[in-house]
């Protein structure tokens, strides 16, 4: 077993854990995928049990380390691109192992094999990767889709209104992770949240709440998302104000509403508009 890309500080004692992966990068529209994994870590009180070794999977010229230098002295140098977190879930029959990281630049297959080796070492019962993509949906919608190990698993997800994915085109690392999980006969799914393509920047709290809520129902977890919902209610009012002030946005959203009534959707990622057809969420978020 090769775990050369990870530094495991301790091997946790977990009950049939579900391994959950939330990555930044191409499959992290509006930071919903990585943000949902990070929110679960925070709300479950998960402890950090391992770290990704940056040299193994990342190009520093693409995502540079950060340094803190004060008055000529270097205080910190941060090479970290992600961590492994273990959480006990007493309300559920299974615990959690969560990877929160940036999508690797290099060695996708080796990365996937190593995280599945960790899952095997901990006798994982299920593997889930999270993704989020831009699509022709409204900002008031919460649309989730997935691909999974088999038809029975898809039925389980469908009961939570997570529909099967139909998509052909470029992919993120999620497909390689899923293939590796299937090769090991591990129950697996990749759950994707569809994001409105006329929004960009920072995190969409409403879609993080929807994603976390779906995971909580799927895994029998008790996760409070009220703070996300409160933030989304405030942000939703700001978005509506921006729409009312922009006729081009009103036209775009009107077209999406009519397509929704007809049941017409793209079924996959779409090219985002530019200029004044985009609402930048960071303009409305505190501290951004």
CA 167 – CA 198 distance, rounded (Å): 21
User: HEC profile for 19-48?
Assistant: EEEEECCCCEHHHHHHHHHHHHHHHHCCEE
pLDDT of the residue at 79: 74
pLDDT of the residue at 80: 67
Question: What's the token pair of residue 55?
Answer: 């040299």
Quote the crossing angle between the two packed helices 247-262 and 226-244, to the nearest 10°.
Answer: 120
Q: What is the mean pLDDT of each run of 10 residues along the chain (288 residues)?
A: 90 96 94 97 95 85 83 82 91 95 92 96 97 92 95 95 90 94 96 93 93 96 95 93 88 86 60 70 65
pLDDT of the residue at 259: 82
């Amino acid at each position: 077993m090769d775990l050369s890309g990870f530094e495991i500080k301790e091997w946790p004692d977990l009950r049939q854990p579900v391994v959950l992966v939330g990555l930044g990068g191409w499959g992290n529209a509006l930071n919903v995928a990585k943000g949902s994994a990070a929110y679960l870590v925070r709300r479950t009180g998960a402890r950090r049990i391992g770290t990704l070794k940056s040299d193994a999977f990342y190009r520093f010229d693409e995502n540079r380390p950060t340094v803190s230098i004060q008055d000529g002295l270097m205080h910190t140098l941060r090479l970290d691109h992600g961590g492994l977190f273990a959480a006990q879930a007493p309300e559920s029959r299974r615990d959690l192992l969560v990877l929160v990281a940036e999508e690797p630049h290099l060695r996708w297959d080796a990365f996937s094999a190593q995280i599945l080796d960790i899952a095997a070492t901990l006798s994982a019962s299920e593997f889930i990767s999270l993704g989020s993509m831009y699509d022709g949906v409204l900002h008031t919608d919460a649309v989730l889709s997935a691909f999974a190990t088999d038809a029975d698993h898809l039925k389980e997800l469908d009961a939570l209104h997570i529909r099967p994915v139909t998509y052909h085109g470029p992919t993120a690392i999620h497909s390689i992770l899923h293939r590796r999980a299937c090769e090991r006969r591990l129950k697996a799914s990749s759950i994707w949240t569809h994001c409105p393509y006329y929004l960009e920047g920072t995190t969409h709290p409403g879609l993080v709440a929807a994603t976390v809520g779906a995971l909580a129902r799927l895994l029998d977890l008790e996760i409070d998302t009220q703070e996300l919902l409160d933030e989304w209610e405030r942000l939703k009012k700001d978005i509506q104000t921006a729409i009312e002030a922009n006729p081009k946005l009103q036209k775009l959203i009107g077209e999406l509403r009519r397509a929704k009534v007809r049941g017409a959707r793209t079924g996959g990622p779409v090219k985002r508009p530019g200029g004044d057809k985009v609402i930048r969420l960071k303009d409305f978020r505190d501290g951004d």
